[in-house]
Structure 1
Amino acid sequence: MPRPIQATIDISAFSQNLAVARQYATKARIMAVVKADAYGHGLFSAVSGFNDADGFALLELDAAIALREAGYQRPILLLEGFFSTEEIAEFQRYRLSAVIHHEEQVAMLTKSKHALDIFLKINTGMNRLGLTPDRFSLIIQQLIDSQCAKSLTLMTHFANADVPSEKGSVIQQFESFLSITRDYHYPRSVSNSAAIVRYPETQSDWVRPGIMLYGSSPFPDKTASELRLKPVMTLSSKIIAIHDLQIGDKVGYHALFEADRPMRIGIVACGYADGYPRHAPTNTPVLINDQRSRLLGRVSMDMIAVDLTDIKHAGLNSAVILWGEGLPVDEVAHYANTNSYELLCAVAPRVKRKMMR
């Protein structure tokens, strides 16, 4: 028997979540974000579920080429663009769109004598990637004059669209973007998952949903179910050992949990080497036999301890859901003081993926 931990990927949930995104963004084309192996779900599983997407966005050139070689013909956007002149020929060969976010990329593209579909990124306050507003007009004119842009799309990225109290900064970024680009009549791409839902006025020609497509809420104050999103990944395992504790008995490394009553605990085949968050504390929720229970003590590399005291019919091989169907990944992330992006992306290669349609 193989080790029982697995990540079940519900392909139909990809399609359902994409349909929800389209209901929010009725007039825009959808660039489904599939970077980081589709947030840990598997690139080809995701794109098969995103069959109705208008394009795909990712960071990894080899993954983009693999999509093309597998026959995907829709636009594919590399969100950090190219990193060397040598890569540009591959972009042209495989018809890949490139984000240009600094002037050196323009110099590389001009030197290469190739022409690409370009998304020109402007820094409107995120201060991560993007041209400064004062350089935008010069750079876009260089691209036009050099004829190295087969097409141009203008883009930016919001820093705070997921934070309810930051509406002002979102609108400020958007208005800055509109002001900078007002004299240029090219397609635009601005909205991420949070903006698609909360700021419909920012939607333009292309939207770029990411986390919502995987069934997780982009907001701390709204659940995925409230947004009609369905979890795609269910991380599950089984009980592999059971212990009875007396008052004062301790559990796990550094004895972080001490029993205050007679208890029954189970050991689950799942640890931080599988991608479960090491800093998840006691009381982080789990489901055992579809009943809600809790983590006990320190997460170790390959195992966690859970409370079986009040769980009916729990025993060896009882099913444990770490997150997914019945237990939102957002809730687990909240207990672990992180976000769902990190948990989903961190699921280790050693965890078997099971595809379900």
Structure 2
Amino acid sequence: VLSHLSSADSHSPEAVKYTKAQIDDFSLIVKALQAQMPSVRYFHLAGSAGMVKYPEARFNSARPGLMLYGANPFYPEKLAKLNLDPVMSLVSRICLIKTLPQGSRISYGGKTILKRTSRVGVVPAGYADGIPRSAPPGFEFLVKGKPAPLLGVVTMDLIMVDLTDIPEAKPGDEILLFGREGRSELRVEKLAQACHTISYEIFTRLGKRVKREYLCSE
């Protein structure tokens, strides 16, 4: 028997009150079923946020989802310092670098106008691969551990980034779109917040053409 806490990740008084009422109601159902239908063995109500914030909602089963990928269900709120390590990373490689003059317009609509002569890197990853089109210009991906701001809007297959302040960057270098690469880390929660969405959506929208590599640590 299962249900779901709709507002466990919120800390507002209204959400807390509603969540506790949900837990109380589910507890009554559990007691009734245990008395009348002892063959029903498993009861689960809590996902990642509920498991952390409401231990009484764990019953004898739970459904950790987001936390399995090392993402914080409370981000950007600071209630829970969960010390979660990201276990999923999205990485691409710079395929082209061009030096463009001040005043050049970048990407669809031409709304991003270069304020200086810039080294512009082209990266073969776009919204068809899972990078939200709502990612704002200026959002900082990482190249060699250094910020590489997004230039212009995300296209279907490509993004453009500013490599002016990373003179050592060259075609073939990796760019971290989220996750962890060596000592560099870019939290998926940060990308989700910038795109006005949640980490779940970032994870689940990764396209089929994104190559998967599964790494095991001993």
Q: Calculate the TM-score normalised by the size of structure 2.
A: 0.87
Alignment of 1:27-38 (within 5 A): none
Distance in 2 separating the partners of 1:281 and 1:323: 15
Matched, 1:201 2:56: yes
Matched, 1:334 2:193: yes
**Per-residue deviation, residues 110-161 of structure 1 (Å, max 9, x unmatched):** xxxxxxxxxxxxxxxxxxxxxxxxxxxxxxxxxxxxxxxxxxxx32110000
Alignment of 1:235-246 (within 5 A): 235-246=90-101
Q: Which residue number corresponds to residue 168 of structure 1?
A: 17
Q: Which residue number corresponds to residue 283 of structure 1?
A: 138
Q: Which residue number corresponds to residue 247 of structure 1?
A: 102
Q: What are the ranges of 5 or more consecutive residues in structure 1 without an aligned counterpart?
A: 1-153
Alignment of 1:1-150 (within 5 A): none
1:329 CA displacement: 0.9
1:340 CA displacement: 1.2
Distance in 2 separating the partners of 1:312 and 1:274: 27
- Point out which structure has higher relative CO (alpha carbons under 8 A, 6+ apart): 1
Q: Which residue number corresponds to residue 274 of structure 1?
A: 129
The DSSP-based 3-state class of the residue aligned with 1:320 is strand
Quick one: which of 83, 86, 94 aligns to 1:228? Answer: 83
Amino acid at match of 2:6: A
**Per-residue deviation, residues 14-39 of structure 1 (Å, max 9, x unmatched):** xxxxxxxxxxxxxxxxxxxxxxxxxx
Matched, 1:156 2:3: yes
Matched, 1:293 2:144: no
Q: Contact conserved, 1:284 with 1:336, CA < 8 A, in 2?
A: no
Matched, 1:324 2:179: yes
Amino acid at match of 2:194: Y
Amino acid at match of 1:172: A
Q: Contact conserved, 1:217 with 1:227, CA < 8 A, in 2?
A: yes
Q: Contact conserved, 2:76 with 2:189, CA < 8 A, in 1?
A: no
The DSSP-based 3-state class of the residue aligned with 1:254 is helix
Distance in 2 separating the partners of 1:244 and 1:277: 26
Distance in 1 separating the partners of 2:75 and 2:155: 28
The DSSP-based 3-state class of the residue aligned with 1:164 is coil
Distance in 1 separating the partners of 2:48 and 2:92: 30
Identity %: 37
Q: Which residue number corresponds to residue 215 of structure 2?
A: 356
Q: Contact conserved, 2:70 with 2:86, CA < 8 A, in 1?
A: yes
**Per-residue deviation, residues 261-290 of structure 1 (Å, max 9, x unmatched):** 222211111111112111211022201112
Instruction: Please tell me whether Structure 1 or Structure 2 has the larger radius of gyration of its CA atoms.
Output: 1
Distance in 2 separating the partners of 1:201 and 1:221: 24
Distance in 2 separating the partners of 1:339 and 1:191: 18
CA distance change for structure 1 residues 354 and 206 in 2, over 3 Å: closer, same or farther? same
Q: Contact conserved, 2:6 with 2:19, CA < 8 A, in 1?
A: yes
Which is further off, 212-221 or 323-332?
212-221
1:179 CA displacement: 3.0
**Per-residue deviation, residues 37-59 of structure 1 (Å, max 9, x unmatched):** xxxxxxxxxxxxxxxxxxxxxxx
Distance in 2 separating the partners of 1:179 and 1:268: 54
Q: Contact conserved, 1:274 with 1:302, CA < 8 A, in 2?
A: yes
Q: Aligned Cα RMSD in Å?
A: 1.7
**Per-residue deviation, residues 159-178 of structure 1 (Å, max 9, x unmatched):** 00011212111101111222
Amino acid at match of 2:132: P
CA distance change for structure 1 residues 312 and 248 in 2, over 3 Å: closer, same or farther? closer
Aligned pairs, number? 203
Matched, 1:347 2:174: no
1:222 CA displacement: 4.6
1:312 CA displacement: 4.0
Q: Contact conserved, 2:30 with 2:43, CA < 8 A, in 1?
A: no
Q: Contact conserved, 1:251 with 1:258, CA < 8 A, in 2?
A: yes
Q: Which residue number corresponds to residue 37 of structure 2?
A: none
